[in-house]
Amino acid sequence: MNPYPVNTDLPASKSPLAWATVGNGILFTAQIPIDAEGKVVDGGIEPQIIQTLANLKHTLESAGSQVSDLTQVVIYVTNREHLATVNRVYGDFVAEPFPNRAAIIVSGFAREEMLVEILAYAVVP
């Protein structure tokens, strides 16, 4: 089966990308902390991880999936100290059995004001 984009209705990116694609029954997506106008939310790591997870949930639902269909999540943050907040908010987002997960500290993102980005894979029914 050829990969196809998922219509998420998230704000269009200026970069050449789709917010999500599906191939072989797997959803591939990367999510960032942008609001409905395409602006990075401010206020620090907590509002950013909340928005990023909301965008992920919306994307999953747009593809016909749900949070329980996640198979792997990779969370990138710019500050190791942010992981406690990320873990707390993420812990309220997922339930057992948990998807595989990694957390990686990076020096920055394409949008300088971003503190977090999530790469995720999920089963599409």
Write down the pLDDT at residue 33. 98
Torsion of CA 13, 105, 21, 61, to 10 degrees: -90
Beta strand 100-105 pairing with 70-77: parallel
Span 67-88, pLDDT tens digits: 999 999 999 999 999 999 999 9
What are the pLDDT tens digits along the chain (125 aa)?
A: 689 999 999 998 888 999 999 999 999 999 999 999 999 999 999 999 999 999 999 999 999 999 999 999 999 999 999 999 999 999 999 999 999 999 999 999 999 999 999 999 999 98
Q: Which CATH number, 3.40.50.300, 1.10.760.10, 3.30.1330.40, 3.40.190.10, labels domain 42-125?
A: 3.30.1330.40
Query: Omega of the bond prior to 97 within 30 degrees of 0, cis?
Result: yes
Query: pTM to 2 decimals?
Result: 0.96
- The DSSP 8-state label assigned to residue 34 in this structure reads B
